[in-house]
Structure 1
Amino acid sequence: MLFKWGVLCSSLVFMVGWDVSRHPEWDMMFTAGLTAREIADRCKQNIATVHLHLKNREKYDPEFFAKHTAALEARGPHRITTKWRKRLNEAQEYYATHGRLPRRTGNPEEHSLAEWVAEQRRLVERNELPQAKIVLLYPLPGWNINAQTQEREIRWRNRLSLLVDFVNTEHRMPRYRTYATEEEHLLGVWLHNQHQRRSESRLELWKLKALNEAVLDWRSRN
């Protein structure tokens, strides 16, 4: 029900005494698991004001903070926090300025930001990143692409292209034992590795499909 908090923020109720809450909407957010910082950001209030209010509410509701703690834990470790949004904004600003994602090889600030982006990628690969965060990350180009994996895939596709050229020219598969040139030897070894991976069920489906479509007789060991 977090989408309704914006409405609650605009319906402030002011009371005379602390025994009746001056900001019941803040109380609802807090006991629903939102942090003081999140409440302050959502309602555009000074965080010190929010903290003071919450501290005073505990005097009239001894279970106030216990309710908050239970709800906060229920939100899970990957909830969208102000700190997380700040890092996302920094990543987006970096991309807008440099035209690329931050790299680990950069200065300490860039390295830290690159690690944050990499962590989001690891979480989504493990299916542990909430959909809400994925949606917010979507406008950041390439955030979910592992650069090393992408580079390996490019090399693999380049090798496949060389295989196609060889077959079209020589009208046979490259050999890794009785080869005529070093180039054929390299292609023969690569093709042999694809055979091995396929026989051991370790060849990715997209690679198998690409080989089948590019070289119909690639499974032949001639």
Structure 2
Amino acid sequence: MSIKTLPQTVDRSGPAPWQDETTMDSKLRRAPDAEWVLMFRLGLSRKRIAELVGAEPATVGYHLVIARRQDPGLEAEHLASARTKSRRSPVDLARMQEIISWVTDEGRFPRDRSGDKGERSMARWLSARRREAAEGTLDPAYNQGLAHVPGWTGTHREMADEARWHDRLAELAAFLEEGHDWPRHHHYDSEREHTLGVWIHTQRYKRRRGDLEPVKVNLLDTTVPAWQTGRTRGRPPRR
């Protein structure tokens, strides 16, 4: 008796042939990936991006095709950046993108007094870029990339104010670590205490009014906990 061969069934539970692997694995990047698009915008080639992020060139190319459709001006920006040949190396740009991703994920800027060595390194890097921006010497590649960081963009004066804010926070943290109570803006013992007292008083006032940016509230919470409460009663006895 002959055995009739049954037709093979097609398993339609899997992805369609046109689907890219990045749309199938939730652990992979959703196209177009913002980091890859930024690197392309800054003049890096598809191949170089793939080398830096450890992805297949075809996968990076797929993301860039979608990005070009969404932003018709992307290709022109890429070519202009590639022609200018920024003095920053691909390693420098990759470092910038690493820090941007960290800030985005954490919802705050890195602290220069963190117990984590890597976080301190990122904080120093950002501090240097803030000063360059305030002086008008920030590299164009950094200027374009850091524009994606909330609270980064602004005039030179605004950038100088932003750098000063972070300096004051670091000074306040050092003041407290030396064993001092919260600084006062009245009846102070030194100009240093007065300066820090006025600054933290201003931050508390802005917080109560809802005028303090969430990223700064978060940074204050993590760097100098209880900053909104301040002194409880009196001043501890001098040692």
User: Shorter-chain TM-score: what band?
Assistant: 0.3 to 0.5
TM, length-normalised to structure 1: 0.39
The one of the two structures with greater contact order (alpha-carbon pairs below 8 A, sep at least 6) is 2
TM, length-normalised to structure 2: 0.37
* Greater helix content: 1
